[in-house]
Chain A
Amino acid sequence: MSEIEQKPVDTLDKFGSRERDSDRKVRVHLSLFDRTKFTSLFLITFLVLIWAEMADNPILSFNDALVNTLNTRWWLVALLLVEAVRQIHFALAELLSKYHGFWLRYFEFIDRQVHRLSDWTRYRLSRVIKALLFVAMLAVILGAVYKETPVRALFYAPKALWSALPMLGQLLFAVVFIVIQFVAMFWFLSRGGIDTYFPDDIRTRFSDVWGQDHVLNRIRENLLFLERPEEIEKHGGYVPGGILLWGPPGTGKTLMAESMAGETGKPFVFVDPGAFNAMFFGVGVMKVKSLFRKLRKLALRYGGVVVFFDEADSLGNRGNISSGGPQRFNAKSQSAIFGDACHGGNYLSESAVSILARENFVVGGAGGRGGGGGGMGTLQSLLTELSGLKKPRGFFNRIVRRTLGLRPKNPPKYRILVVMATNMPEALDEALLRPGRIDRMYRVGYPSKAGRIRTYEGYLAKVSHSLTEAEIDKLATITPYATGATIKDTINEALITAIRNGRTSITWPDVIKAKQLKELGPSEDVEYIERERHAVAVHEACHAVMAHRVRQHMAIDLATIEKGSDYLGMVASIPPDDQFTRWRTEYESDILVSLASLAGERLFFDGDNSSGVSGDLESATTIASLMEGQWGMGSTISSHATARRFETGSPGGGKGGKSKGDTQANMRMALADRIEQNLGVLIVKAEEILKKNRNEVLALAHALEIHKTLSGEDVAAVIDGTVGSIVDGRPYKEKALLAQIERYHKAAVSAHFEHRTPDVEIPHI
């Protein structure tokens, strides 16, 4: 029993790992076949030649044929001799470790000498030598067959071959002909979609990409390593082989790639998104293979190559959830928050908006997005090509070197820089993004302010305009999420506006108008009935005044009561500066701004309120819930998200605990109760603030009713009583006007309740 158990262990000990090549003192013994195959081949060839000689001349004796053949085919004897020498060499190397060691060292030296030639030169040389050898062998064989001089035989062969082809041969040719059609078809199908540009073909330079300096610097670094790989290779590193550029559409990923093509001294291969889509199974794989063959060739020839996959998401994935991939939320337009009467999505900060969107849509990762792209093995073959086995390539390298008893050389270092661009990084396959394939992932975000200014200047330089530097600066400030594409579009829209007004030069109001048009869409030119207009104006004024008073992290971009496609009016805000953390006070002010509409409508319309506040309440509740349940901004600490995951329940019970009235019980109130309580506190606060700013709200509502749309500057001017860009806010501090406005408001309120036209005209300044 114990013996039996012992046995495998013994066996394992005895046959451990296979001895490494470098550990061997002598050559591995050849098998009998390997030892004799060439001798046999040469001898058989020789006998065939003798036989051919004898067949050629019926009176020739074997001896004379042998002698004749020896005289005419002396090279075969030479080959036999070489083979004999080789076998002696092998035998010695198998028996004498010193000889083997010497030979290895000597061959290392030869290899080093050969490697003095550049990879590309060696590649071309080997190609030429291979071709010549092939032609020479063919010529000799044909010469023997057609009894011609080898060179002449080469020219006779095709004709002779065709005429000599027996029936069977011709049938075979027919079969081959059919196969050739398929080969040709596949070859034809596997064309296209891949463009190669050589240095100086493209003129775009890094200096043409504006506002993405941080990414550009990284890319420049990658290119530098590609051009001078020794900088990093001599220190034991390797050239990073893959870059992924991801980010929102229009931020210049493709432009960046184009500038790389212009900037690099290496060929640039552009792969179309649809390049791997194919009608037939396997064509995609073939295309990937031929693409990489081409890349390797270019890499050898020019010392490096850049390949750019545009819209890399078209390559598809294999259907698994890409974990850790950047997530994207772009479902604004479908949300109730963004589609409501007040367009709440616009006055909230971007991060609050994305949180709301996230809450509205169950984020299911990218699961189930299987297939896509080229499919049918295309992605897999791409993955393999990007970092597959470092296998020796080539007929000579693998077959001939092995025949000569040498190990095949590893492939040379192909320096291929893979650049991919996508705005759906989560749609990429996880395996594609691992280091080794894609070493670096850069987010190409919205351009910086400096970049936006540069972009505005760039596009404005192409048209006639009267914008000052300060105005361009301001424009860049109020368009924080502008991309190259949207900036170009805005300027063009401004030009259209100017032309429509009979001018050819763009002015500041044209740009603002264009911006509003682009952001809000065209207004519907609906004339509200007066009392409704006033209600909408008060609603928006409440938001705006609240935002102006309590919210410091956002600035009002514009306020409008012009009805758009999916809103009655809106207050849009922008962050004055880039900020990455959010605080409780900021979220509270967000809620206050949201609740201002409800508080304001109740305050100004004697406790009445419209359904237009639904979206505001939804966003306020969502943020309040997250503050209370997840961000530790409420009375409890534990995270509701975790509690939900572990089903432990929230403090006081998740869905309605019992309020006992004591402090402990208060603290452990149900989450919903706590949220409601927090919102209750905040709406009281909002009401207080609005009460204090009653004059400002009414003044702003008045200004909105008069002007329909106000820029952020004008909103501030009306509230603070200063001079804005189009509205002079100073009269709004005069008591007489305020009294008139108050009177008008009262009339509008009573008209609202009685459903009639207000009997007081809107006061004019």
Chain B
Amino acid sequence: MLKSPLLVLRSIPVVVGIAMSLLLSSCGTTTQQYPAFKKEGVYFAVPNNWHEITTKQLNAQEALATDAAAKDRAAMVQWQDAFTTDKTITAADVFNLKSVDAPVAFVRVRSLFPDETNSVSNNSLRNMVVPLTTWVTSPTAKTPVYEIFDDQDRIEKGARGVRTVFSFTLNGEKQSIDQTALLSPDRSTIYVLLIRCSSLCFEKNKSAITKIAESFTVRGK
């Protein structure tokens, strides 16, 4: 028995439709970039229009350091990556505390030295970039003007630590940092995500910066 030709005709657009829709959607691109360090299960997302300062560039920049302690630390780095909206910003700017006018997101996974492992605490995690805890507990005349907007515990599947959002003024330039520093359960590795720029720029890109900080996910090994 032959089937009605109508059925044949009807089935054509279904097949064609599926194929075409897939074809069309494949022309688009993703909304975000998903840099990841899968070995340690570290993920975060940055908007598509952000420009990457690659791991290689960062490593090269760090290798220029003459300080022995810095060199040792660099050797312990497992992964680092940076993104920024401004293409003029370079790896050197990433490692510099000088205020920048475009947001820079910098992620770093680093193994700890044994003595660090023994001494690491949430406070020391907060002191990752600037000695924030010291500023709070024992301020001196040299203590710069600072402001903590937010400070909360962050518990991820593969790590725990603190996320601190603060601003400080250095050399007359006020900049803000959204800092997430996490420690692996065996206290051997720290995962750091820094997003920073001048306070003005920070306010302007607040939603994007918050989104990036919130996307930071550590699944662990």
**Residue pair A59, B217 in contact (C-beta under 8 Å):** yes
List A10-46 residues whose CB lies under 8 Å from chain B: 29, 32, 35-36, 39, 43, 46
**Residue pair A59, B215 in contact (C-beta under 8 Å):** yes
**Residue pair B22, A77 in contact (C-beta under 8 Å):** yes
A67 beta carbon closer than 8 Å to chain B: yes
List A57-108 residues whose CB lies under 8 Å from chain B: 57-61, 63-64, 66-68, 70-71, 74, 77, 80-81, 83-84, 87-88, 91, 94-95
Q: Report the minimum CB–CB distance from A522 to chain B (whole Å).
A: 87
Q: Report the minimum CB–CB distance from B43 to chain A (whole Å).
A: 5
**Residue pair B217, A68 in contact (C-beta under 8 Å):** no
Q: How far is the CA of A95 from the CA of B45 in the complex (A)?
A: 52
Residues of B within 8 A of A32 (CB): 11
**Residue pair A35, B11 in contact (C-beta under 8 Å):** yes
**Residue pair A57, B23 in contact (C-beta under 8 Å):** no
> Which one, B2, B11, B219, contacts A91 given CB within 8 A?
B11
Which chain A residue shows the least CB distance to B19? A84
**Residue pair A64, B11 in contact (C-beta under 8 Å):** no
Known: A57-B36, A64-B32, A91-B11. A81 touches B26 (CB 8 A): no
Q: Mark B19-32, 1 if CB is under 8 A from A, else 0.
A: 10011011011111
List B22-53 residues whose CB lies under 8 Å from chain A: 22-23, 25-26, 28-32, 34, 36, 38, 43-45
List A689-745 residues whose CB lies under 8 Å from chain B: none
Residues of B within 8 A of A83 (CB): 15, 19
Residues of A within 8 A of B34 (CB): 57, 59-60, 64
**Residue pair B18, A87 in contact (C-beta under 8 Å):** no
**Residue pair A64, B30 in contact (C-beta under 8 Å):** yes
> Which one, A39, A59, A66, A71, contacts B15 given CB within 8 A?
A39
List A654-704 residues whose CB lies under 8 Å from chain B: none
B141 beta carbon closer than 8 Å to chain A: no
Residues of A within 8 A of B130 (CB): none
**Residue pair A67, B29 in contact (C-beta under 8 Å):** yes
List B155-193 residues whose CB lies under 8 Å from chain A: none
Q: How far is the CA of A149 from the CA of B127 in the complex (A)?
A: 41
Q: How far is the CA of A80 from the CA of B9 in the complex (A)?
A: 19
**Residue pair A59, B43 in contact (C-beta under 8 Å):** yes
Residues of A within 8 A of B32 (CB): 61, 64
List B94-134 residues whose CB lies under 8 Å from chain A: none
Which chain B residue shows the least CB distance to A28? B2
**Residue pair B45, A59 in contact (C-beta under 8 Å):** yes
B16 beta carbon closer than 8 Å to chain A: yes
Residues of B within 8 A of A77 (CB): 19, 22-23, 26
Known: A64-B31, A87-B12. A39 touches B26 (CB 8 A): no
Q: How far is the CA of A195 from the CA of B165 in the complex (A)?
A: 85
Residues of B within 8 A of A56 (CB): 38
Q: Report the minimum CB–CB distance from B81 to chain A (whole Å).
A: 15
Q: How far is the CA of A83 from the CA of B15 in the complex (A)?
A: 8
Q: Report the minimum CB–CB distance from A44 to chain B (whole Å).
A: 12
Q: How far is the CA of A293 from the CA of B218 in the complex (A)?
A: 59
Residues of A within 8 A of B8 (CB): 29, 91, 94-95
Residues of B within 8 A of A46 (CB): 22
Residues of A within 8 A of B16 (CB): 84, 87-88
Known: A57-B34, A94-B8. A84 touches B15 (CB 8 A): yes
Known: A58-B219, A80-B18, A87-B15. A94 touches B5 (CB 8 A): yes
Which chain A residue shows the least CB distance to B17? A84
Q: Report the minimum CB–CB distance from A710 to chain B (whole Å).
A: 93
Which chain A residue shows the least CB distance to B215? A59
Residues of B within 8 A of A81 (CB): 19, 23
Q: How far is the CA of A63 from the CA of B31 in the complex (A)?
A: 8
Which chain A residue shows the least CB distance to B28? A67
Q: How far is the CA of A68 from the CA of B5 in the complex (A)?
A: 38
Which chain A residue shows the least CB distance to B31? A64
B3 beta carbon closer than 8 Å to chain A: yes
**Residue pair A67, B26 in contact (C-beta under 8 Å):** yes
Known: A35-B11, A61-B31. A29 touches B26 (CB 8 A): no
Q: How far is the CA of A59 from the CA of B157 in the complex (A)?
A: 13
**Residue pair B25, A66 in contact (C-beta under 8 Å):** yes
**Residue pair A87, B11 in contact (C-beta under 8 Å):** yes
Which chain A residue shows the least CB distance to B214? A59
Q: How far is the CA of A59 from the CA of B25 in the complex (A)?
A: 21
Q: How far is the CA of A39 from the CA of B19 in the complex (A)?
A: 9
Which chain A residue shows the least CB distance to B44? A59
> Which one, A35, A43, A63, A91, contacts B18 given CB within 8 A?
A43
> Which one, B12, B26, B45, B219, contacts A71 given CB within 8 A?
B26
**Residue pair B18, A29 in contact (C-beta under 8 Å):** no
**Residue pair B36, A91 in contact (C-beta under 8 Å):** no
Which chain A residue shows the least CB distance to B157? A58
Which chain A residue shows the least CB distance to B4? A29
Most buried by B among A68, A91, A95: A91
Q: How far is the CA of A80 from the CA of B25 in the complex (A)?
A: 14
Q: Report the minimum CB–CB distance from B57 to chain A (whole Å).
A: 23
Residues of A within 8 A of B5 (CB): 94-95
Residues of B within 8 A of A74 (CB): 26
Residues of A within 8 A of B31 (CB): 61, 63-64
Q: How far is the CA of A77 from the CA of B22 in the complex (A)?
A: 7
**Residue pair B9, A91 in contact (C-beta under 8 Å):** yes
Residues of A within 8 A of B2 (CB): 29
Residues of B within 8 A of A84 (CB): 15-16, 18-19
Residues of B within 8 A of A35 (CB): 11, 15
Residues of A within 8 A of B3 (CB): 29
Q: Report the minimum CB–CB distance from A58 to chain B (whole Å).
A: 5
Q: Report the minimum CB–CB distance from B26 to chain A (whole Å).
A: 4
Q: Report the minimum CB–CB distance from B92 to chain A (whole Å).
A: 29
Q: Report the minimum CB–CB distance from B17 to chain A (whole Å).
A: 9
Known: A59-B217, A87-B12, A88-B12. A80 touches B30 (CB 8 A): no
Residues of B within 8 A of A91 (CB): 8-9, 11-12
Residues of A within 8 A of B29 (CB): 67, 71
Most buried by A among B15, B28, B219: B15
Residues of B within 8 A of A94 (CB): 5, 8
List B78-98 residues whose CB lies under 8 Å from chain A: none
Residues of B within 8 A of A67 (CB): 25-26, 28-30
Q: How far is the CA of A46 from the CA of B5 in the complex (A)?
A: 30
Which chain B residue shows the least CB distance to A64? B30
Q: How far is the CA of A36 from the CA of B5 in the complex (A)?
A: 16
Q: Report the minimum CB–CB distance from A230 to chain B (whole Å).
A: 43
Q: Report the minimum CB–CB distance from A180 to chain B (whole Å).
A: 37
Residues of A within 8 A of B9 (CB): 91, 95
Q: Report the minimum CB–CB distance from B67 to chain A (whole Å).
A: 35
Residues of B within 8 A of A58 (CB): 43, 217, 219
Q: How far is the CA of A467 from the CA of B12 in the complex (A)?
A: 94
Q: Report the minimum CB–CB distance from A330 to chain B (whole Å).
A: 66
**Residue pair A70, B12 in contact (C-beta under 8 Å):** no
Q: How far is the CA of A61 from the CA of B215 in the complex (A)?
A: 11
Q: Report the minimum CB–CB distance from A559 to chain B (whole Å).
A: 90
Q: Report the minimum CB–CB distance from B33 to chain A (whole Å).
A: 9
- Give 20 pairs: A residue, B residue, CB < 8 Å, sorted on A: A29-B8, A39-B18, A43-B18, A56-B38, A57-B43, A58-B219, A60-B34, A61-B32, A63-B30, A64-B34, A67-B30, A70-B25, A74-B26, A77-B22, A77-B23, A84-B16, A84-B19, A87-B12, A88-B16, A91-B8
Residues of chain B touching chain A, judged by Cβ–Cβ distance below 8 Å, are 2-3, 5, 8-9, 11-12, 15-16, 18-19, 22-23, 25-26, 28-32, 34, 36, 38, 43-45, 215, 217, 219
Starting from the known contacts A59-B34, A59-B44, 18 additional A-B residue pairs (CB-CB under 8 Å) come to A32-B11, A56-B38, A57-B34, A59-B215, A63-B30, A64-B31, A64-B32, A67-B30, A70-B26, A77-B19, A81-B19, A84-B19, A87-B16, A88-B15, A88-B16, A94-B5, A94-B8, A95-B9
The 5 A-B residue pairs with the shortest CB-CB distance in the complex, in nearest-first order: A70-B26, A84-B19, A64-B30, A29-B3, A67-B30
Residues of chain A touching chain B, judged by Cβ–Cβ distance below 8 Å, are 29, 32, 35-36, 39, 43, 46, 56-61, 63-64, 66-68, 70-71, 74, 77, 80-81, 83-84, 87-88, 91, 94-95
